[in-house]
């Protein structure tokens, strides 16, 4: 007796089992004698979970092609398999351990953690291959592979060695997305940029030797609205702690305001006064003349845009933080390291690896959490009078007259009402409230 409705969950598994038993999906099944080969290697899904709609669509299209070619008599192979997806799978396992309040990979030790990763592989792989079968994928399951299988690993190693011997493999340093909690790099695909509340601080970088220039600002009609003598160039930043690693200050080549000082040197306004580094003022298309002061500090080791500017301008890139996101504590004393960095500006040549070893974090900031370092950098610059200031009743600053700045654990400005004995200042540091795109993995 026929059922009133078609129950795919009951019918399709029986049909699929019949196909498999008949060997209908095996390589060469039904091929004409002397037929050309037609092969598709399935883009191996990552063993990080389950298939998604994109997998369903893509594998359906592949299935259509291989079934069509079988009907045409080709010698068809649809090669199935899964991918270890190293870092992504590691992240899945580490997050799961954290959610279960279990020891992390460092506490577990290498062998125990790898065993846990293999458990994730078997669990996810079984689920994925089952989903492919439910989709009706006509793969040759007798040839299922895993990207860390011994034969594939040997092939990868051989190809790598061959490429190296041919001079086609090189090693270099690149910027990556880094997770300071799990202490690992993260793929761009695993990172989502989210908007958070933040602040933009404005600071002065004094010109070397007390040099001055005439700063002229014009409106859209070309009328001069500000003319003054300055001995500094101002920049704005949402991460003041990274100022320590600046390699240059960049301005747009068409920005007339800074034309007199392009090629000059300016001083990073933080750290022991007697050992402060001088960095060049350069031109690059990256700065936006209409945003902020139009001048951008270039910290190549801590920003993807700055990294590109640093590559173009051959600007040294200084790594400020360790794998936990704290300020570096390795290396020689700051005065020694600062002299090394300054020698590069003076013409000394160093490799990328040699520059990476230089720790230009001042001694009093070494080992600090980056947010605590941010607070101290802001306090030091402000105390020295090198913060750009505005009248205390300026509407755009992060705090107003009648309030004094304090900092929370993340180094963000918070308001504290002035006490009865506090004197209301005439000016305050210019700190703008700002939405910041923050990577979240």
Element (H, E) at 158: helix 150-165
212-235 per-position pLDDT tens digit: 999 999 998 889 999 999 999 999
- Kindly list the domain boundaries of the chain, sorted by start residue: 8-154, 188-440
Element (H, E) at 82: strand 81-82
DSSP 8-state class, residue 294 = S
User: To the nearest whole number, what is the mean pLDDT of the chain?
Assistant: 89
Amino acid 64: pLDDT: 98
pLDDT band at 392 (very low <50, low <70, confident <90, very high): low
Amino acid 398: pLDDT: 43
Region 188-440: CATH code: 3.90.740.10
Instruction: Report the alpha-carbon distance of residue 10 to residue 5 in Å, rounded.
Output: 11
CATH fold for the domain made of 8-154: Rossmann fold (3.40.50)
Instruction: Report the alpha-carbon distance of residue 288 to residue 202 in Å, rounded.
Output: 16
Instruction: Specify the range with the lowest mean pLDDT, choosing from 36-40, 205-209, 305-309, 388-392.
Output: 388-392
CB-based contact 222:295 (threshold 8 Å) = no
Amino acid 424: pLDDT: 58
Decide: helix, strand or coil at residue 205: strand
CB-based contact 424:183 (threshold 8 Å) = no
Amino acid 396: pLDDT: 46
CB-based contact 316:280 (threshold 8 Å) = no
Percent of the chain with pLDDT over 90: 72
306-348 per-position pLDDT tens digit: 999 999 999 999 999 999 999 999 999 999 999 999 999 999 9
pLDDT of 416 strictly over 80: no
């Amino acid at each position: 007796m026929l059922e009133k409705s078609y129950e795919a969950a009951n019918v399709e598994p029986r049909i699929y089992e019949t196909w498999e038993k008949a060997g209908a999906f095996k390589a060469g099944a039904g091929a004409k004698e002397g037929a050309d080969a037609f092969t598709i290697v399935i883009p191996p899904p990552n063993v990080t979970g389950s298939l998604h709609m994109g997998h369903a669509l893509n594998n359906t299209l592949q299935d259509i092609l291989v079934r069509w070619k079988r009907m045409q008599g080709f010698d068809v192979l649809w090669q199935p398999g899964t991918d270890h997806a190293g870092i992504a799978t590691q992240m899945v396992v580490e997050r799961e351990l954290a959610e279960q309040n279990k020891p992390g990979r460092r506490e577990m030790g290498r062998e125990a953690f790898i065993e846990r990763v293999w458990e994730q592989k078997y669990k996810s792989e079984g689920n994925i291959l089952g989903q492919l079968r439910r989709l009706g994928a006509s793969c040759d399951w007798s040839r299922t592979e895993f990207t860390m299988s011994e034969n594939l690993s040997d092939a990868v190693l051989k190809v790598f060695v061959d490429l190296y011997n041919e001079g086609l493999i090189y090693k270099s340093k690149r910027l990556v997305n880094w997770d300071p909690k799990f202490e690992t790099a993260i793929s761009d695909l695993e990172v989502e940029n989210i908007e958070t509340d933040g602040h933009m601080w404005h600071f002065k970088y004094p010109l070397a030797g007390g040099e001055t220039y005439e700063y002229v600002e014009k409106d859209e009609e070309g009328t001069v609205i500000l003319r003054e003598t300055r001995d500094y160039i101002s920049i704005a930043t949402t991460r003041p702690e990274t100022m320590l690693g600046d390699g240059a200050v960049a301005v747009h080549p068409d920005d007339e305001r800074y034309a007199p000082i392009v090629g000059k040197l300016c001083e990073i306004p933080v750290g022991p006064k007697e050992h402060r580094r001088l960095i060049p003022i350069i031109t690059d298309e990256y700065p936006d003349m209409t945003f902020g002061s139009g001048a951008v500090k270039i910290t190549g080791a801590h920003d993807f845009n700055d990294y590109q500017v640093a590559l173009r301008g051959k600007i040294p890139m200084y790594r400020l933080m360790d794998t936990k996101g704290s300020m570096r504590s390795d290396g020689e004393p700051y005065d020694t390291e600062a002299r090394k960095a300054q020698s590069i500006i003076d013409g000394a040549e160093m490799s990328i690896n040699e520059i990476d070893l230089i720790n230009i974090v001042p001694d009093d900031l070494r080992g600090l959490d980056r947010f605590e370092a941010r607070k101290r950098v802001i306090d030091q610059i402000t105390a020295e009078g090198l913060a750009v200031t505005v009248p205390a009743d300026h509407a755009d600053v992060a705090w107003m007259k009648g309030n004094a700045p304090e900092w929370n654990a993340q180094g963000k400005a918070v308001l504290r009402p002035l006490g009865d004995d506090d004197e209301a200042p005439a000016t305050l540091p210019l700190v703008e409230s700002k939405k910041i795109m923050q990577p979240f993995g």
